[in-house]
Chain A
């Protein structure tokens, strides 16, 4: 899984039926210091994020496994809304 910042939303009325009910977010991959890593992506948002939120996201086949017996046609899926990163020692 990776870290990312939500930078926007995508509205798509016509989409695969299995994606109905899921929001789509624009995602900027970042490192733990917030530095941008690579290009922005469109992610399926399973938890309801807002712009500016730090999130964890997953790629590959695991992006499709949102529930027992439930798969969605996604290659990038947001799985965790991060409240904060704890450092016990300064980075």
Chain B
């Protein structure tokens, strides 16, 4: 999983059937300190995340399939699986 911050909500009327009626958010990857990283991930929300939230994003297809309750593989790879309350670091820990 990676850490990210929700920066926008996707509004889409034409999409694959497995995306219908789902909340799809744009997540900017961030460091554990909250510094933005390069890139933007489009992820299906399963936890009620909102813009500004730091979130956990799992990008693995079988995990997405199981979390979303399918018995067959689907074209969804990235799923928001948690909202981060806080991160504690050991003093000797190094930021990645």
Residue of A nearest to B77 (CB): A62
Interface of A is mostly: mixed
Q: Are B8 and A85 in contact (CB under 8 A)?
A: yes
On chain A, the residues within 8 Å of B51 by CB distance are 87-89
Give the number of chain A interface residues (Cβ < 8 Å). Answer: 34
Instruction: Kindly state whether residue B9 has any CB partner on chain A within 8 Å.
Output: yes
B71 — nearest CB in chain A belongs to which residue?
A: A68
Are the CB atoms of B9 and A82 closer together than 8 Å? Answer: no
Digit string of B59-87 for contact with A (CB within 8 Å is 1, else 0)? 00100100000001111111000000000
A61 to B15, CA, bound (A): 19
User: How many residues of chain B have a CB within 8 Å of chain A?
Assistant: 32
Q: Are A1 and B14 in contact (CB under 8 A)?
A: no
- Indicate whether B12 reaches chain A with its CB closer than 8 angstroms: yes
In this assembly, does B48 line the interface, its C-beta being within 8 Å of a C-beta of chain A? no
Among A5-13, A14-22, A73-81, the one that faces the other chain is: A73-81
Residues B26 and A85 in contact, CB atoms below 8 Å apart = yes
Give residues 17-65 of A contacting B (CB, 8 Å): 30-32, 37, 46-48, 56, 58-63, 65
